[in-house]
Amino acid sequence: MADKNLRVFFYSLSALGDDAISEVDYLWSLFTGPHLYRSGVSHVEAVSPNTGKSCELREVAVVGNVVKGCLALLREDVPTLRRQDGNEAPLPIANGDRLIEKNYFLYFREARLLLWQFNLAANHVSNMAVMLTALSGLGRTVSYSHVIKTLFALEQDQVIEYVDLKIGAPRKKTQKLELAQLDPTNWGVNPFKVLSDTGSRQLEIMMQNRTSDGLTGAVRNLVRDLTGLSVTRKLKVKVDGAAEPIDMLAERFTFKISMQCLGATATAGEIFQALQQAKDLYDAEQTPPNPS
């Protein structure tokens, strides 16, 4: 058996709208609407505004109040195969074929909870929001936020009083790839441009507005995206009503699950089982238990 590690992140999905349909029902319809899928594959593809690459939902299945499936990145570029002897060989790709890189997920209806397999070779979770927005016909914009352990989560109506941030310059290839999948134009300020323009290796910023207005919604997007980056060294957020700031890096829910795989790579069933193990660990920390 091969030992593999699966890193699981937890997100809350939102789809605010002016009509009478609740967020819970609206999001559920995007995952389960029979007119949106054929044999578990979404009828439409979405294009990441940041990378220009396409993605689609695949292997979508409904089990009670849970949806399982994967978001597949559709690759136009074709790599070569490295054989065990070190020689390279072309992959048998026909015209029109595309390679697939997958992020598996579980989605729980009532909690609007998304368990996400971290796979940097495939999609950033922002592509899931883009995909669901495309499935809605742009009727509502789907957004996401990290699930954190404190009572004062960063919901849309929460007033942010200050943000204390420290980041490092992205130097590794994986760090640059993480950043390339995000949209800094939604942040209000791009700290990575400051790093680049000044030749700095590290940047620390304090943003503060303790009035009833708080900081703008763009800062909320900045906090959300930087919470998941490996170059983020410190990220503390004070919200209205909380006695102490939230340490976003310490308080976010994330688990690393060890898997014993029968083959060289994990099967879909093995990944879904690992995602469920992460959900069980998450449930064990909820008081009272989180609805599913």
The residue among 159, 147, 129 whose CA lies nearest residue 279 is 147
**Which of the given ranges, 78-87, 153-162, 189-198, has the highest pLDDT on average?**
189-198
pTM: predicted TM-score of the whole model, two decimal places? 0.79
Contacts with 38 (C-beta within 8 Å, 6 or more apart), sequence order: none
Is 203:234 a contact under the CB 8 Å cutoff? no
Say what the pLDDT of residue 176 is: 86
114-171 tens-digit pLDDT: 999 998 788 889 999 999 999 999 789 999 988 887 755 566 667 889 899 999 999 8
3-state secondary structure of 87: coil
